[in-house]
Amino acid sequence: MLGALIVGCGVLGLVVGSFLNVVIYRVPRGESVVRPGSHCPSCGTPIAARDNVPVLSWVFLRGRCRTCGAAISPRYVLVEALTGLLFAGIAARLGESAVLPAVLAAVATLVALAAIDLEKLILPKRVLYPGLALATLLLIEAALVDRAWGRLGTAAACAGAWFILFFLINLAAPRALGFGDVRLSPLLGAILGWFGWRYAVVGFFAANVVGLVVGVALIATGRMSRRQPIPYGVFLAVGAVGTLLAGPVAVSWMSGIR
């Protein structure tokens, strides 16, 4: 039964990842994510359904457009495969849990935001707000199903605490951490907080330690200048999703060092 859930969520992740590619490409360009349908960015030919199967079509067409032969960025496959793997991993971790849909919604939002942040150094509200709204509704639904009002309360408290912390960090170091990251923080605080305040604390440190280590490494190796803005949203997403996946291990490690 768990196996079927993991495979099902993995396939769902591939399909969602395919949609996230559209979001990642179009939202920063101010285009609609609904219309027109997918088309080759090089020749503009609409992409037929048979050529739009996640991962498989790209492999079958050897990464080229069927019509004009232009190379199609492997980024599309990477986003699909990553979303599929993350969905399967979260399903394996949580099993048949009422909170699973909320976590998957949050993870999908984070994949899209991290990819856009990496490329454009922005976290668009047009992606964040729908994702935040969906994850919040699904958390409330999970609380209704499980009568888990305590968890929902902790999630709300952690969302508030993350927001205040990030707001203060942004005040102190606006160049390191932009206001987009402040806007993103309640989603991360809420989804981690559902699993307990320890998760929210571990996630907070994981996100910031990842950011610090990668940032210092990039500056030290001369790949980045000290004044260059950092795509901090990527580190926040990696830290939060990593904490969700590592779950009990990360939290018991933290309890051990107290």
Contact residues: Zn ion, CB under 5 A: 40, 42-43, 65, 67-68, 70
Q: How far is the CB of 43 from Zn ion (least distance, A)?
A: 3
Angle between the N-to-C axes of helices 197-220 and 248-256, in degrees from 0 to 180, rounded to the nearest 10: 90
Of 40 and 81, which CB lies nearer to Zn ion in the complex structure?
40
Q: How far is the CB of 39 from Zn ion (least distance, A)?
A: 8
Of 2 and 43, which CB lies nearer to Zn ion in the complex structure?
43
Of 40 and 127, which CB lies nearer to Zn ion in the complex structure?
40
Of 70 and 133, which CB lies nearer to Zn ion in the complex structure?
70
Q: How far is the CB of 257 from Zn ion (least distance, A)?
A: 54
The answer for residues whose C-beta is within 8 angstroms of residue 202's C-beta and 6 or more apart is 192, 243, 250, 251, 253, 254
State the DSSP string of 1-19: -HHHHHHHHHHHHHHHHHH
Q: How far apart are the first and last CA of the chain?
A: 38
Q: How far is the CB of 73 from Zn ion (least distance, A)?
A: 13
| Token code pair at residue 98 | 């009422």
| Token code pair at residue 106 | 């949050």
Of 44 and 95, which CB lies nearer to Zn ion in the complex structure?
44
Q: How far is the CB of 41 from Zn ion (least distance, A)?
A: 8
The answer for residues whose C-beta is within 8 angstroms of residue 99's C-beta and 6 or more apart is 138, 139, 142, 146, 151, 194
